[in-house]
Chain A
């Protein structure tokens, strides 16, 4: 089941859907991109100076202008860019006309920004019964923090995920997990909200306002930390590159012979993985005394925990990552390399699944783009397309939509 890369897009129910995106942050941008990857026609409406995301680096080598932000490229691939100066009267009526044609409006303005631009979502919704208004904002459209300001770091902090992430050494502050995930999580919920509203519209014929809060999206996503508070009322403590837990656990990062890090959580409780591990060590003559019968007893293994951890450290240190990943997995042990970004493009599994798609750029080297990670046997999704230059599709979209 592979994406139809390189083949012309045959269309789906989504390719008939029109989306207008008014976004000034990565949450809104990524929401639009996910809808575009699903097949919707996504028109990003930008002011003449361009989206603020166009000013975020890094930039393509040799450039530093608004058409070469790699951050913009990444989160705005697959869309069309239309410039409309909606702060002036003529532009505003163009925007209104585009919205009138849309199935979904993605909008990231907080309540005061909406008011300043004289946009009333309830009136808009009342005037366009079929329209789904997807408001993706830092804290939601209502509540005492609705006007608070955020960023990726601030969002992750207030939402709870940051508290769980960092190092064993608590003199080091919690460390931000990378990749703008503070904005990614609300974009995921925005996609879910849009799809639920589309399904509901099939039943009722009506759109609605879908109010997605970044803060809430993050606050329901710290995994075990919340249930540990809901039930035993204990807080988790952050631990280096592994689960934050109420109590300290053993390190799970090991260095390999080729200077890389491998993730492996030693679990003593189950006999089957324990025996797989010992057989593996023994196959290379590195099991030391772990083959002795007393290690079949859990209590003994627990007693000897540090000794065992030491033997495993040596074993990993004497073997290279490729061998450890392949052999460990063949023995049913969940080991994984800490891959650096540059390791991903040649990963044999991702290559075999044709996961990355190379896109050419006009005046910069080609890029490797991740494709849509949802694969349907029976719904076509479009190939990746590079992000548009500012206003690249203004005339074409206005011509087609408002003809």
Chain B
């Protein structure tokens, strides 16, 4: 593990060029007091910042946001994300940069009376408040919906949690993998007769974030139309359950239980006679291609792409139903062909013949070798005073009338204290210095 290096002090000229400016986009003019941290909340409010909202991320200097501390650095090497740095440079974390682009950053020590008073002043100038703490934390700071609505009438209060703000498990701890386990999404993924393979990512962090972004946008739209604010309660576990899909009905309507030896079905489909339908080895280390053939027309295209080898005429493969029934034999032939080829070569050839096929792309492929993402400009670059140029995951939507306003990479710790406390709240220099000295900001 690399030893702790001295933290970088950014060039004042670079910092001067990063001062907040007038934003553009459908959410311009909306100020968000953002108490979110970690993944779900940060991704949810990033979307608002992308489209012009002034999202002010509130951190505590003495316990900065976790993604600032995880060792996803340009020079981080081979380390798992759980290997926290013992003396991290909080401005160097790539994950934080990824989650907090386009946001402002301030520090407030919420464990002090003066800090909480300052937060109230900021909320009074905001029309949206967001948080994803464990239930009870905001209440301990006095930040109930009733209180917020008093200091900023018709405010929107977005509350994002694992289990929601009511019910017997509302205090339970969760993060992506636990949510995926509890909501049923892990168990429906895997090969039959062994442990589930589930998810190799905190899928539910992203997806709960997307639902939370939508919830906040819906609340903003409703307020534009009616003038009314609202509190919003989104439980990641409930979002997850809503995505389990038709299996919820197969079990509840048909009583077709999933605790059975032939479930789940790996890469094969249970309810559509698709064959071949799988992930097949290609040349290269851990390289694969996904192929899905749903009907006779697609099968014809598949056979042509392969040059109609003799084996495709086997009577076991004479109809879609026959191919579905004989998938083991079929898959052996398919893989015999794919494993002599590059996954992108297979994808291109099969797609040319009208067959659904996709290379199993890793992140290097997505960033460096995907002509579609390149053409659409999915990933984009922003400079950062400590990290330097970095890539970001753009919004995967093209708007004919507008688009995201990517004006700045993630804030340094306390980078916007001056602008937010002095310009937005009208704080005098004396008070600012005093709060700084007392460790409030």
Contact = CB atoms under 8 A, between A and B. Distances in A.
B94 A265 contact: no
Interface in B261-305: 264, 266-267, 270-272, 274, 277-281, 286, 288-292, 294
Interface stretch (A43-51, A286-294, A312-320, A346-354): A346-354
B218 interface: yes
B197 A166 contact: yes
Interface string B19-47: 00000001100000000000100000001
Given A157-B359, A231-B74, A243-B202, A329 B253 contact: no
A191 interface: yes
Contact of B207 (A140, A148, A184, A350): A184
Contact of A208 (B76, B172, B252, B401): B401
- Chain A interface bracket (under 10, 10 to 19, 20 to 34, 35 or more): 35 or more
Interface in B174-200: 174-179, 181-191, 195-200
30 contacts: A58-B249, A61-B254, A71-B246, A125-B400, A142-B398, A143-B371, A144-B375, A159-B366, A161-B203, A173-B280, A179-B188, A189-B396, A192-B397, A199-B27, A209-B400, A213-B396, A216-B394, A219-B378, A223-B203, A226-B98, A229-B367, A232-B78, A233-B74, A240-B198, A336-B177, A338-B181, A365-B253, A365-B254, A375-B234, A379-B230
B217 interface: yes
- Chain B interface bracket (under 10, 10 to 19, 20 to 34, 35 or more): 35 or more
Interface in A237-267: 237-247, 249, 252-253, 261-263, 265, 267
Given A198-B221, A199-B26, A230-B94, A142 B375 contact: yes
Contacts of A224: 72, 81, 95, 201-202
Nearest to B364: A229
Interface stretch (A81-89, A93-101, A366-374, A390-398): A366-374
A361 B253 CA distance: 9
Interface in B378-415: 378, 387, 390-402
Contact of A158 (B259, B281, B358): B358
Contacts of A352: 166-168
Contact of B182 (A145, A191, A336): A336
A364 to B, nearest CB: 6
Contact of B281 (A173, A175, A232, A241): A173
A342 B259 contact: yes
A374 B214 contact: yes
A288 B83 CA distance: 27
A344 B363 contact: no
Contact of A349 (B163, B181, B199): B163
Nearest first, the 10 closest Cβ-Cβ pairs linking A and B are A164-B200, A216-B396, A57-B271, A158-B358, A231-B94, A157-B290, A178-B188, A241-B198, A378-B230, A229-B363
A239 B200 CA distance: 7
A269 B242 contact: no
Given A224-B95, A341-B187, A353-B167, A140 B221 contact: no
Interface stretch (B119-127, B348-356, B418-426): B348-356
B219 interface: yes
Nearest to B169: A349
B372 interface: yes
